[in-house]
């Protein structure tokens, strides 16, 4: 089945991880780098040069290779005959990404897709600011975002806001957080606190446990002592498997009554078999609608004989985006204005749009864990009708 990639009409619409969850990366220190001279943006046959920066060697090479295959699949599926796609190894360091970007620019890339890691994307910003090709990174690190370096990964703060919105609409007014004491956990706690306040709810407790310790009970008991009160309580637990099981068991042992608590989470729960833990049955998390991704995964397996990495959809949608931008006018339009079309774009992971400051916004579904299957209980919006988030 051929899939098309279209701009949504305005009137219609990890990479890095620690033992518990993805961490926000620390921006790389600004580096003075020579501006590479750019070659022709078109090939002799008239195709527009697009660069793909992926970790093709090193510990993340498996992810990079899966993403490269998804990008190649997108060229075929979308009929993007206007594109000449070239891959460059961005490794796992900012230095490797800088070298890959220089090579891509020397070759004449009109648009750079990648790199995967937030620190690498941050390192490219000075070269882009000097007039280099715009970057659509696969990172989900919002701290790496800037005008000219857009992040395409599914960032965690919007996931928290989406599931909080659903909880509020379901009548829940009281919230708490139990998260690792990491930059990621702190970011999730801050996001919950700020958005719950906007929506008129109350955060009654926030406990950050030592991610390097096996002692979860001390923090769990503090949480249990702080959440006493009337009304249903939603507890954000942004912890991925396998640590998630021990976290939930500890909370139960500390006295949290599952019947009185609604567990909520982020996309780190969006993995096969998440419902195997009975404590998680009935929990909610925000993520792209899995039904849309299922067709892509089936076609990928048919083509390559194995399942894609979860991040492979980003490369697929990135190439499809490049194909659309290439068709906007003769020679393509890869400007900031074209990339940040407020109507957004439609991809395997649903609709999304890029904001002027480099962040991205996605329409997410709310999914309930129900044993061996996850069920969408609040569909992802089909259009962007409201103003971009702040």
Q: In this structure, is residue 20 part of a structural domain? A: no
**Residues 6 or more apart in contact with residue 275 via CB below 8 angstroms:** 281, 369, 370, 371, 372, 373, 374
pLDDT band at 386 (very low <50, low <70, confident <90, very high): low
Q: What is the CATH number of the domain that holds 128?
A: 3.40.50.2300
Tens-digit pLDDT profile for residues 43-80: 888 899 999 999 999 999 999 999 999 999 999 998 88
Q: In this structure, is residue 28 part of a structural domain? A: no
- Phi then psi for residue 204, to 5 deg, are -90, -20
Would you tell me the crossing angle of helices 94-107 and 118-129 to the nearest 10 degrees?
Answer: 40
241 and 107 in a single domain? The answer is no
* Residue 7 confidence (pLDDT): 36
82 and 101 in a single domain? The answer is yes
106 and 133 in a single domain? The answer is yes
Contact 177, 187 (CB under 8 A): no
Q: In this structure, is residue 319 part of a structural domain? A: yes
176 and 275 in a single domain? The answer is yes
Q: In this structure, is residue 132 part of a structural domain? A: yes
Q: In this structure, is residue 11 part of a structural domain? A: no
* Residue 10 confidence (pLDDT): 30
CA distances to 122, 133, 200 from 195, in Å: 27, 35, 9
Q: 285: burial class by Cβ within 10 Å (0-12, 13-18, 19+)?
A: buried
* Residue 204 confidence (pLDDT): 96
Q: What is the mean pLDDT of residues 259-268?
A: 92
pLDDT band at 37 (very low <50, low <70, confident <90, very high): low
The Cα–Cα gap between 174 and 208 comes to 18
Contact 114, 70 (CB under 8 A): no
Q: In this structure, is residue 275 part of a structural domain? A: yes
The Cα–Cα gap between 282 and 380 comes to 19
Tens-digit pLDDT profile for residues 162-194: 999 999 999 999 999 999 999 999 999 999 999
150 and 160 in a single domain? The answer is no
Count of other CB atoms within 10 angstroms of residue 342: 14
Contact 109, 51 (CB under 8 A): yes
CA angle, residues 83, 86, 88, in degrees to nearest 5: 150
Contact 177, 235 (CB under 8 A): yes
281 and 331 in a single domain? The answer is no
CA distances to 3, 46, 51, 268, 311 from 156, in Å: 27, 40, 27, 9, 14
303 and 184 in a single domain? The answer is no
Q: In this structure, is residue 87 part of a structural domain? A: yes
Tell me the average pLDDT of the chain: 88
Select the more confidently predicted residue: 36 or 199.
199
Q: In this structure, is residue 165 part of a structural domain? A: yes
143 and 165 in a single domain? The answer is no
258 and 282 in a single domain? The answer is yes
273 and 374 in a single domain? The answer is yes
96 and 194 in a single domain? The answer is no
SS3 breakdown of the chain: % helix, strand, coil, rounded to 5? 35, 20, 45
230 and 372 in a single domain? The answer is yes
The Cα–Cα gap between 97 and 81 comes to 27
Per the structure, the complete domain to which residue 127 belongs is given by 48-154+290-358
- Number of domain units in the chain: 2
């Amino acid at each position: 089945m051929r899939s098309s990639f279209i701009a949504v009409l305005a009137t219609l619409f990890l990479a890095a991880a620690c033992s518990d969850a993805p961490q926000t990366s620390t921006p790389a220190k600004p580096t003075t780098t020579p501006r590479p001279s750019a070659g022709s943006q078109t090939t002799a046959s008239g195709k527009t040069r697009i660069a793909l920066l992926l970790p093709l060697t090193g510990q993340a090479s498996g992810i990079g290779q899966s993403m490269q295959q998804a990008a190649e699949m997108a060229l075929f599926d979308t009929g993007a005959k206007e594109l000449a796609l070239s891959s460059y190894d961005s490794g796992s360091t900012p230095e490797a990404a800088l070298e890959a970007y220089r090579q891509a620019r020397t070759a004449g890339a009109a648009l750079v897709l990648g790199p995967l890691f937030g620190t690498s994307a941050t390192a490219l910003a000075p070269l882009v600011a000097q007039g280099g090709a715009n970057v659509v990174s696969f990172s989900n690190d919002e701290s790496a975002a800037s005008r000219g370096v857009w992040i395409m990964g599914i960032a965690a703060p919007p996931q928290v806001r989406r599931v909080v919105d659903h909880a509020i609409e379901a009548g829940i007014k009281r919230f708490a957080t139990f998260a690792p004491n990491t930059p990621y956990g702190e970011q999730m706690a801050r996001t919950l606190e700020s958005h719950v306040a906007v929506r008129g709810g109350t955060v009654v407790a926030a406990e950050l446990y030592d991610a390097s310790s096996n002692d979860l009970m001390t923090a769990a008991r503090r949480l249990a002592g702080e959440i006493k009160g009337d009304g249903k309580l939603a507890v954000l637990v942004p912890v991925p498997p396998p640590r998630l099981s021990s976290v939930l068991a500890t909370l139960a042992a500390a006295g949290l009554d599952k019947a009185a608590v609604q567990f909520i989470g982020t996309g780190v729960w969006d993995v096969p078999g998440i419902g195997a833990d009975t404590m998680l049955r009935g929990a909610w998390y925000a993520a792209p609608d899995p039904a849309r991704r299922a067709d892509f995964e089936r076609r990928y397996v048919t083509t390559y004989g194995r399942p894609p990495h979860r991040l492979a959809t980003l490369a697929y949608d990135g190439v499809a985006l490049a194909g659309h931008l290439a068709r906007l006018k003769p020679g393509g339009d890869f400007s900031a204005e074209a990339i940040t079309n407020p109507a957004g774009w439609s991809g395997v992971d649903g609709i999304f749009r890029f904001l002027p400051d480099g962040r991205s916004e996605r329409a997410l579904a709310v999914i309930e864990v129900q044993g061996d299957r996850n069920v969408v209980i609040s569909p992802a919006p089909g259009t962007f009708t409201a103003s971009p988030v702040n």
